[in-house]
Structure 1
Amino acid sequence: MAFSELLDIVGGLGRFQALQTVALVAPILWVTSHSMIENFSATVPSHRCWVSLLDNNTAQVSVPKVLDPGTLLTISIPPGPNNEPHRCRRFRQPQWQLLNTNTTATNWSEAATEPCLDGWVYDHSTFTSTIVTKGSPILMSSVLLLSHQWDLVCDSQALKPMAQFIYLAGMLVGAAVYGPASDRFGRKLVLTWSYLQMAVLSTATAFAPTFPVYCLLRFLLACALVGVMMNTATLLIEWTSAQARVLVMTLNALGFSFGQVLVTAVAYGVRDWNLLQLLISAPSFLCFVYSWWLPESARWLLTTGRLERGLHELQRVAAINGKRTAGDTLTIDVLLSAMQEDLSMNQAPSSLGSLLHTPELRLRTCLSTLCWFAFGFTFYGLVMDMQGLGSNIFLLQGLVGVVDIPAKIGSLLLLGCLGRRPLQALSLMLSGLCILGNVLVPHELGALRSALAILGLGCMGTAFTCITIYCGELFPTVLRMRAVGLGQMAARGGSCLGPLVRLLGTHRPALPLLIYGTVPVLIGLAALLLPETRNLPLPDTIEDLQNQAVKKATQSSQGHTVLHSTRL
């Protein structure tokens, strides 16, 4: 008897699994909101230099009332690209000669200009405040807290991508820390701590007094978000039967899609970044409270020798699933008999180096890590710059989430029909080909380019659904969180590099798309070397993997023998 048989006794797909899926997937919506919020909270609005003639009420008295604001703008701000008011320069002195009909605006370059020494004036028609502009005051607990003006424009415009890089680097660090921590201290404990960290840090971010503090809070928040994502997926996998594993993991992946739609809807209704940050932070406190009800992974408890607690959790799940009588038949002796091989193998300490212990593990580790990297690199490279894809960021962000939903639902069917390996390879390659197709489409066909980009991101969503399931099935229980943590590190490393690739567009505009498309195509081809895990029980030890490999080799050998005999 193995753990899969113990899970069948207490119920591998019942009321408990339904409640657990709802409880674990709901926070994923807010995790995604935190990742995508800067598409709205860090939007760069139209802006120009502050000038006394236009923006100082006391100075208006010295200006003839016959002059309208447009005329005052002409003599105060030089024209920039596209004949719009320059965003980063102003005239040192009003250029009254420009009011002469015989003087052309092209003569402005001869006049002395200067940077925006007194700040900027922003267009608040879309957002009343963002982290780029001066925030609005928030009244909370009868204490007035004022957000500071950071002005992340002109000479400071590089600070915005720096903030994104710091956030994504936090995810990389979180994957390195929370993977081993979950294997050592348990999935539930780390998940509960991550919920609390997410709630506190995301709330504090809304009141960040300075930009460096904002970046620090976002870095720590990103660490917590990875802890939530990793342990959510692992608990769902380890508490669900093999037949229903694809279903619950697809629902988990759909949480990310609905999260993109959710943050778009909330941002559309709330145009102040402080209030938007608070609204998506508040539900995390509720998640922290009810997470104490969630049971620890019995599979992890048993494989780490915590038999009494593992028995308690199994009986608890049996009661929730209406199988209390079956759960009462379980005893310590039954668990010892069922997990004897696993417990004996647990005497050898597991570490990150154990993932390279055998050729089979090395192959799985390297290829699955590359699949994680391809997702992070391509997805975040494109999706973290929605403003660069078009002017209506609400429509673009919403479409990415909406297209992602049928893609992931379709993956539920395809995983059962095609299997894990073919779908993983196909989804990565199709995503890359859609992105590469944009290189051949003229810039004038903006709608077609956007459609190909969204389709490519939809295929990448399918790839993400597949790798979250596939990675959990490729590795034994004693190494699963380390493998998932390594994969998350690869994904976050790719996500850190993804936005940086956009800088290459200043030299060759098509180069970023070529790189974004080529990487998933090549890694998709490499994924064909992975073994198929459809309908196989979750391995608990390294020996389980070796037994599966021997069994597969034996069946393949027998198949060739039968085929040869038939031909004779």
Structure 2
Amino acid sequence: MAESEKGERKGVDLDSILVEEIGQFGKYQILTLALAAFPVMFSAFAAGEYIFTTARVPSRCLIPQCDTENPEYAPPWILNAIPGTSLDSFDNCEKYANSSTITPRNVCPADWFNRNEVVPCDAYVYENTLSVVYDFDMACNEWQRSLIGTIRTVGTLLVLPITGYISDRWGRRVALTINAFNTGWIGLVRSFVNTYEWFLVLEVLESTVGAGAYSSCYILVTELVGPKYRVIAGATISTLFALGQVILGFIAWGVPSWRPLTQVLYAPQLLVVTYFWILSESVRWLLSKGRYEEAETILKKAAKRNNKELSEKSLQALRDNAEYEKTAEKPKEPWLPLLVIRSKVILFRCCVSPIWWITNTLVYYGMSINAVNLSGNRYLNYIAVAAVEIPGYWTAILLLDRVGRKPVLIGAYFLCAACQFAFAFMPDGNEGLSLAIYLIGKYSIAVVMTSVYVYTAELYPTKYRHSLFAFSSMIGRLGSITAPLTPALAQEVWEPFPSVLFGSFAALSGLLIFTTPETLGTKLPDTMEEAEQLGSRRI
């Protein structure tokens, strides 16, 4: 009698099908990864463009009695009217009080000003017009400028449950195309706005309904490859994101004005909507939804592309499960928060792992944002800081299965902390050494980023892994929300403050890793009880 006739079924083991029949990483998976490369790099454009479009623009006070109709940023007389030490170093936000009402132009003697009294600017002259800082007249309002990045990252927090719902309800392919298309058209509209308020609204709207393209690609690709290549596929996606940041730096260097730059970056993203017809849906998602006929069609297509053949045994298992799904009753799921509260071990991990994720996003995005404020060419600095992530991702892949999860994470966190503190208190005049330490710090947080994805997933049971992993990731967005404010903290509070903050969080996270079990060589837990016993069970 068939399994379906007994009211039972054999589960479809997709990993076994990939390993034994279709191939874990053949032409079909490579093609899917190649297609995913574009929306991943476009996600990097969207995540980082505000670093350039809202970049700080040097400014000074407008001196009405001295400035001409088209004022020069640093005229020869500037130190007569504005406090400073040279034509390259003068106050951006204050001027000497007037001691005269004379209003001729082209001359500006010092005796026109009271050098014992300094007053705020009434209006400003900008060094260039490349950023929204000029268009929205934000010369000395550093907090208003930094708020743009924070508002954007608030949207990346909101997008997680929205994209998760779309992805789980209608599929990874639908979530990807909706997010990419929304990013493209909203970004283009934003390039035409003329008010700060509308710019903010469109920033948060774009990230809220469009920033989920990266996670959709990540899940789609990792669900398609075999278990042997899953971590490598994830690292490849991360590498493509870093490559997107590098390309962004070069594009911003070549198109520095914010409106055309935004249009160049966002217009190509509209093409990703074609992926709805080009890209196949995740087989794993189709199986989880009981859509076995569609899964069978895609598996046959994958097998053919990889020059393989799906066995009759697997085909029959798919058909038996399809029949079973039509009559099976779904068991009632227990409420997850209650299960977590009942388990002190899992509850502790749910308190600790979000701190790792807050550190990751705070340091990762904070270092990218502050890279443009380092001495030297800001575009080259940003490119170097993005490029150094790539060896970090592959270092993690090289070490995780050799020395263990905990040693890699502890070492990378502590190395990052040491670099942050060293950079914060580095004496002036050591620009080359400072940049090298900065790059090592970014390299180490890239090692952490890849490692913590793997480690966090391994700490939780299969049935609730996605939900508990998503909880840590969502709380971790508090770090990326705070990161855009760090340039303002450096300017308004204390210049080394961001690096000290990054280092403190990295050191704390490294210490917290000691409190959780090593997962190298352990079987992935399927139940809460197995997850609680991690560290004592080996495969």
State whether residues 191 and 231 of structure 1, in contact with CA within 8 Å, keep that contact through their aligned partners in structure 2: yes
- 2:530 aligned with 1:527: no
Structure 2 regions of 5+ residues with no counterpart?
Answer: 1-10
State whether residues 146 and 487 of structure 2, in contact with CA within 8 Å, keep that contact through their aligned partners in structure 1: no
> For the structure 1 residues 328 and 169, does the alpha-carbon distance in structure 2 shift closer, same or farther, using more than 3 Å as the test?
same
State whether residues 431 and 455 of structure 1, in contact with CA within 8 Å, keep that contact through their aligned partners in structure 2: yes
Q: Select which of 48, 55, 75 maps to 1:43.
A: 55
- Which SS does the other structure have where 2:133 is aligned? coil
Q: For 1:297-446, what aligned pairs fall within 5 Å after superposition? A: 297-326=282-311, 329-332=314-317, 336=321, 347-348=332-333, 358=343, 361-446=346-431
TM-score (normalised: structure 2): 0.83
TM-score (normalised: structure 1): 0.79
Which whole-Å CA distance do the structure 2 matches of 1:230 and 1:357 have between them? 31
State whether residues 409 and 448 of structure 2, in contact with CA within 8 Å, keep that contact through their aligned partners in structure 1: yes
Q: Select which of 90, 113, 125 maps to 1:121.
A: 125
Amino acid at match of 1:305: G
Which whole-Å CA distance do the structure 1 matches of 2:460 and 2:307 have between them? 31
Q: For 1:170-249, what aligned pairs fall within 5 Å after superposition? A: 170-249=155-234
The corresponding residue for 1:55 is 68
Which whole-Å CA distance do the structure 1 matches of 2:488 and 2:60 have between them? 25
The corresponding residue for 2:5 is none
Q: Select which of 17, 20, 27 maps to 2:32.
A: 20
Question: Which deviates the most, 302-311 or 428-437?
Answer: 302-311
> For the structure 1 residues 226 and 378, does the alpha-carbon distance in structure 2 shift closer, same or farther, using more than 3 Å as the test?
same
- 2:125 aligned with 1:169: no
> For the structure 1 residues 336 and 527, does the alpha-carbon distance in structure 2 shift closer, same or farther, using more than 3 Å as the test?
farther
1:20 CA drift (Å): 1.5
Amino acid at match of 1:87: N
Question: Which deviates the most, 305-314 or 29-38?
Answer: 305-314
Which whole-Å CA distance do the structure 1 matches of 2:164 and 2:315 have between them? 30
Structure 1 regions of 5+ residues with no counterpart?
Answer: 61-68, 134-148, 557-568
- Which SS does the other structure have where 1:336 is aligned? helix
State whether residues 242 and 537 of structure 1, in contact with CA within 8 Å, keep that contact through their aligned partners in structure 2: no
Amino acid at match of 2:122: C
The corresponding residue for 1:4 is 15
**Which string of whole-angstrom CA distances, capped at 9 and with x for unpartnered residues, describes residues 428-470 of structure 1?**
2221121122344323433322321221111101111222344
The corresponding residue for 2:240 is 255
Count of residues paired in the alignment: 517
1:329 CA drift (Å): 4.5
Which whole-Å CA distance do the structure 2 matches of 1:535 and 1:306 have between them? 34
1:311 CA drift (Å): 3.2
- 2:116 aligned with 1:130: no
Which whole-Å CA distance do the structure 2 matches of 1:439 and 1:430 have between them? 14
> For the structure 1 residues 73 and 445, does the alpha-carbon distance in structure 2 shift closer, same or farther, using more than 3 Å as the test?
closer
> For the structure 1 residues 114 and 411, does the alpha-carbon distance in structure 2 shift closer, same or farther, using more than 3 Å as the test?
closer
> For the structure 1 residues 81 and 227, does the alpha-carbon distance in structure 2 shift closer, same or farther, using more than 3 Å as the test?
farther
Which whole-Å CA distance do the structure 1 matches of 2:181 and 2:151 have between them? 21
> For the structure 1 residues 466 and 100, does the alpha-carbon distance in structure 2 shift closer, same or farther, using more than 3 Å as the test?
closer
State whether residues 414 and 507 of structure 2, in contact with CA within 8 Å, keep that contact through their aligned partners in structure 1: yes
Question: Which deviates the most, 199-208 or 482-491?
Answer: 482-491
- 2:90 aligned with 1:78: no
Which whole-Å CA distance do the structure 2 matches of 1:31 and 1:347 have between them? 38
Amino acid at match of 2:137: D
- 2:92 aligned with 1:87: yes
Q: Select which of 501, 518, 533 maps to 2:504.
A: 518
> For the structure 1 residues 55 and 387, does the alpha-carbon distance in structure 2 shift closer, same or farther, using more than 3 Å as the test?
farther
- Which SS does the other structure have where 1:13 is aligned? coil
> For the structure 1 residues 300 and 419, does the alpha-carbon distance in structure 2 shift closer, same or farther, using more than 3 Å as the test?
farther
**Which string of whole-angstrom CA distances, capped at 9 and with x for unpartnered residues, describes residues 235-286 of structure 1?**
2222221111121111111122212211111011112111111111122122
